Amino acid sequence: MIPQQVGSLLAGFNEDGSVELYTIEPAGSLIKVEDYDANFGSGMPFVLGLLERQYKKDMTVKEGVELAIEAIKSSTQRDVASGYGIDVFTITKEGINKVVEQEIKSEFKDQ
């Protein structure tokens, strides 16, 4: 039996207003994210090409959320280990906002 694993993202603002984003991998490694994050997890191969094609540094928050949802759905539709849900938060100067909480229903899930 394989134990459950989780990868996390840590984001915030510095005193000068600049933004930093880090990924904490399941093994505990902390890596600074420069553009987008898709460097761990069994679903990574299914989203990497999508992010490479569609990610732009000047995306709006709305465009970023839409791309994140598309990437997660792409992964969960092709990889049974990717889970069955999406939670998306935005972090802006105005605060932290949960913008998406959605269960993904699998066509292959036992009824």
CATH code assigned at 49: 3.60.20.10
The answer to the question of residue 26 being in a domain is yes
The 10s digit of each residue's pLDDT in 30-75 is: 889 888 766 667 888 888 889 999 999 899 999 999 998 888 888 8
The answer to the question of residue 2 being in a domain is no
**pLDDT confidence of residue 98:** 93
**pLDDT confidence of residue 111:** 43
Q: Which residue has the higher pLDDT, 86 or 31?
A: 31
**Quick one: three-class SS letters along 7-47?**
CEEEEEECCCCCEEEEEECCCCCEEECCCCCCCCCCCHHHH
The answer to the question of residue 109 being in a domain is no
How many residues make up the chain in this entry?
A: 111
The answer to the question of residue 29 being in a domain is yes
Q: From 31, 72, 67, 66, select the one nearest 52 (Cα to Cα).
A: 67
**pLDDT confidence of residue 24:** 86
The answer to the question of residue 84 being in a domain is yes
Using CA of residue 71, residue 77, residue 78, residue 81, what is the dihedral sign? positive
Determine contact, residues 22/7, Cβ cutoff 8 Å: no
Total domains present in the chain:
1
The answer to the question of residue 111 being in a domain is no
Contacts of 1 (CB under 8 A, 6+ apart): none
Instruction: Specify the pTM.
Output: 0.73
The answer to the question of residue 110 being in a domain is no
Domain of 39?
Answer: 8-103
Instruction: Please state, rounded to an integer, the average pLDDT across all residues of the chain.
Output: 81
**pLDDT confidence of residue 67:** 93
Q: Is the pLDDT of residue 2 over 90?
A: no
Residue 41: half-sphere exposure toward Cβ, Cα within 13 Å: 25
Q: How confident is the model at residue 16 (pLDDT cuts 50, 70, 90)?
A: very high
